[in-house]
Structure 1
């Protein structure tokens, strides 16, 4: 018997039952059904670090392997109809809308180019970081990182001490700044797809976000001032990009971004009562229209944006293709995990339920914040958010009201602590790669964690004491 066959059989400890389409019997599943999901996330976490070139060439094959390792036994032991129904539910209601939004934001943001150069003084750098942080909740952390990282690097390319600028950029622009809308960070859009209101996040995460951003900007200004004076005491370096006026190209994409926001708000408020059924999965008209509008806006961006603008951003389809393939694997492999979590104390994840609950059964919001955050630091923060969303009950209406503090803790943990490592959130490694290519002496994987551990963890501890106890 081959190793693959053995692994598949080991996954299927629960007996087959007569199940309806889409119902895979989460309460009767063993923990081994979660192995493909764990393998998928570990591959994403370790592949780019341990074997980056091999990973770059084969990440799609990794995703396909783990997805098949789940789907084959799911069909064999739970039945074709339940497996197909569960897969279609995930694809039509979560994966496709998720990828369509990321594709639209990626395409439109890639058509906005900031040219020119400023002197990287502490005041200028702090202002650039603040602007990028504000942008992140509108164009997404990936979009804001694409637009802002090159102007920030150009402003500081004549300074000896500039590593800290990129580190704080990852903290603020690539992560924490995306916490105020579902457009900002993928976990929050998944919450929106699960029924969380668009502006709920803005209202409930604003205090925590302002607290973290204010401390980080103040710390950055103080540190940058010290290092700027140290640079001034040494012979100046030649500036490869002399100061010149700032110019914004691709302005039409700002209008298209407004269209993205309008499309998302439309799908949340317009309820025509029309739906389509695909193998028992109900697709509502407003969501289908939203996704078609987003694709149309991305197409308009491609047509209306001059090619030199995208070339200036070094735009390519590689990053979004990687996200699409990897998240296809993630969303497939997470199917049984979510089913087991929905079973609550009757499922295989009962010990995890106990870990985030007080003895009386009420949620332990401190545990939700830190467990969501720590897993988001090393695994992708979007599926981690989904896991704890389901663990907290999975009902958006309840979580937005009586469970508001729990949902706030989950959301903050997923978004904020994605900044703890290079692999916690998709833009982190992209910014690292761009900065390294521009000759910035970026810290290693563990070197970056020394920065995040020394700066971010104390902030998160303060947030715990102030907001989540």
Structure 2
């Protein structure tokens, strides 16, 4: 298993792809941008194709996807790039690519890389007994932790201890399903660190603690309902096992319960400090790169995050990452796929910014009241359902821009609209295995440990039964 700095930085060529392509003689005029009103829906084909590839190919051709997902991402990126240059010009292509890469994609990947690396150096040791009280407590802890170290970080830290605690139980599928609901998705709703859509909102100008203030009640309602439902369900299955022959515990070790890799905790604090610094420090210094203004605090934040991750690699004993099953493939896959997503979404966002004058005006009508005001319930469900079946980060971007894309206005005048978009993107990422990156990671780990996880549609039956009533309640309480 590679743990060198070179392996850790293997994503940087992907993150720098936009800059490499941007290093062309064509000049990018400052302030230029796509005219969304003049674009047809044909320009959205590469974006839709990219998201459908992520949703479908791993299910129908998993082996092919595992070995060639990078080529699939490159195919869709080139499907847009070639006609983009031909019809819009190389200068505009350079500007749009640099703008998306410098302000959104590279900061997005660096944050995920940092949280993934540091959380991978934290190991929860010991073998708990998976009683209903213990399992519910682990889920509650993970739900809170997800907003501190991200849904990916919390999932990777806690899924293996949870599986060890329940590996002698015959009924343990529901434990992993609720783990995906709460730890891999809903728990990450309170800070930009929690889930990728919220960090994209932060990069767009949403205040760091805005989601903490405006999504706390939504998160509390759903989390309490699901934790109570899980406890009652787990008690039911736990009681049924009393009448069955005891199952051999595959991991009976007597290692004491503890937390290893504690030196990584201050590094997580450093990540939070770096994010807050970039929001609060306003020196007024910017760098003009190919027409894109990159603020000095953003550069300092990203450099600090990379350095914190490298420090984690240096100070964490190798055995901790080995016992966590840590490897670079998940972050490598995310880096490649999202490079294509952030590029192919450019014309879609431009069309949405055109509002009623753009080719997606019917979509605008679905989330707009007759008087022109936002239809908040529509934003919640449209953002959420698409997040569940596509990917919640780009879906958030689509509806953020559809709502006007002005963070100051969305945080104040249309605060409920931004709340609906944020809650829909984060919460409904739990509807399917493909709604959020940690879902599939947890699925793979559980299956490798012998848990008979439900199929794609079997999981949707679980989410339909337990999640959709919660979301209907939220709609009635907050969005109508």
TM-score bin, normalised by smaller chain: over 0.9
Show the counterpart of 1:123: 133
- 1:80 Cα offset (Å): 1.2
- 1:241 Cα offset (Å): 1.7
Show the counterpart of 1:217: 227
Secondary structure in structure 2 of the residue aligned to 1:248: strand
Confirm or deny: 8 A CA contact 2:395 2:425 kept in the other structure: yes
1:78-134 residue CA offsets vs partner (Å, 9 max, x unmatched): 111111101100000000000000000000011111111111000000000001111
The residue correspondences of 1:55-454 to structure 2 (distance < 5 A) are: 55-242=65-252, 244-454=255-465
**2: CA distance between counterparts of 1:47 and 1:110?**
28
Secondary structure in structure 2 of the residue aligned to 1:117: coil
Secondary structure in structure 2 of the residue aligned to 1:282: strand
**2: CA distance between counterparts of 1:328 and 1:450?**
32
- 1:321 Cα offset (Å): 0.3
Secondary structure in structure 1 of the residue aligned to 2:216: helix
**2: CA distance between counterparts of 1:463 and 1:86?**
37
1:214-240 residue CA offsets vs partner (Å, 9 max, x unmatched): 000000000000110111221111112
Confirm or deny: 8 A CA contact 1:36 1:69 kept in the other structure: yes
**1: CA distance between counterparts of 2:214 and 2:399?**
18
**1: CA distance between counterparts of 2:29 and 2:88?**
7
**1: CA distance between counterparts of 2:291 and 2:37?**
21
**2: CA distance between counterparts of 1:347 and 1:280?**
25
What TM-score do the two structures reach when normalised by structure 2?
0.93
Show the counterpart of 1:14: none
* Aligned CA distance change for structure 1 residues 227 and 309 (closer, same or farther; 3 Å): same
- 1:21 Cα offset (Å): 6.0
**2: CA distance between counterparts of 1:124 and 1:211?**
21
1:293-341 residue CA offsets vs partner (Å, 9 max, x unmatched): 0000000000000000000111111000000000000000000001111
Confirm or deny: 8 A CA contact 2:29 2:290 kept in the other structure: no
**2: CA distance between counterparts of 1:253 and 1:231?**
39
**2: CA distance between counterparts of 1:457 and 1:25?**
38
**1: CA distance between counterparts of 2:32 and 2:126?**
54
From 11, 29, 44, the equivalent of 1:34 is 44
Confirm or deny: 8 A CA contact 1:21 1:84 kept in the other structure: no
**2: CA distance between counterparts of 1:101 and 1:38?**
25
- 1:467 Cα offset (Å): 1.1
1:220-271 residue CA offsets vs partner (Å, 9 max, x unmatched): 0000001101112211111122254211111111110000000000000001
**1: CA distance between counterparts of 2:441 and 2:267?**
24
From 51, 54, 59, the equivalent of 2:64 is 54
**2: CA distance between counterparts of 1:162 and 1:232?**
15
Poorly superposed stretches of 4+, deviation over 3 Å: 18-22
* Aligned CA distance change for structure 1 residues 289 and 20 (closer, same or farther; 3 Å): closer
**2: CA distance between counterparts of 1:155 and 1:196?**
39
Confirm or deny: 8 A CA contact 1:21 1:83 kept in the other structure: no
Secondary structure in structure 1 of the residue aligned to 2:256: strand
Confirm or deny: 8 A CA contact 1:20 1:81 kept in the other structure: no
1:320-368 residue CA offsets vs partner (Å, 9 max, x unmatched): 0000000000000000001111111111111111110011000000000
Confirm or deny: 8 A CA contact 2:105 2:342 kept in the other structure: yes
**1: CA distance between counterparts of 2:384 and 2:213?**
20
Q: Between Structure 1 and Structure 2, how many residues are aligned?
A: 452
- 1:24 Cα offset (Å): 2.0
1:394-450 residue CA offsets vs partner (Å, 9 max, x unmatched): 000000001100000000000000000000000001101100110011000000000
**2: CA distance between counterparts of 1:220 and 1:286?**
43
Secondary structure in structure 1 of the residue aligned to 2:259: strand
Structure 1 vs Structure 2 CA RMSD = 1.1
**1: CA distance between counterparts of 2:276 and 2:177?**
33
Confirm or deny: 8 A CA contact 2:267 2:308 kept in the other structure: yes
Show the counterpart of 2:472: 461
Confirm or deny: 8 A CA contact 2:30 2:291 kept in the other structure: no
Q: Which moved more, 1:242-251 or 1:176-185?
A: 242-251
1:191-221 residue CA offsets vs partner (Å, 9 max, x unmatched): 0000000000000000000000000000000
**1: CA distance between counterparts of 2:237 and 2:32?**
58
Confirm or deny: 8 A CA contact 1:19 1:25 kept in the other structure: no
Q: Which moved more, 1:233-242 or 1:368-377?
A: 233-242
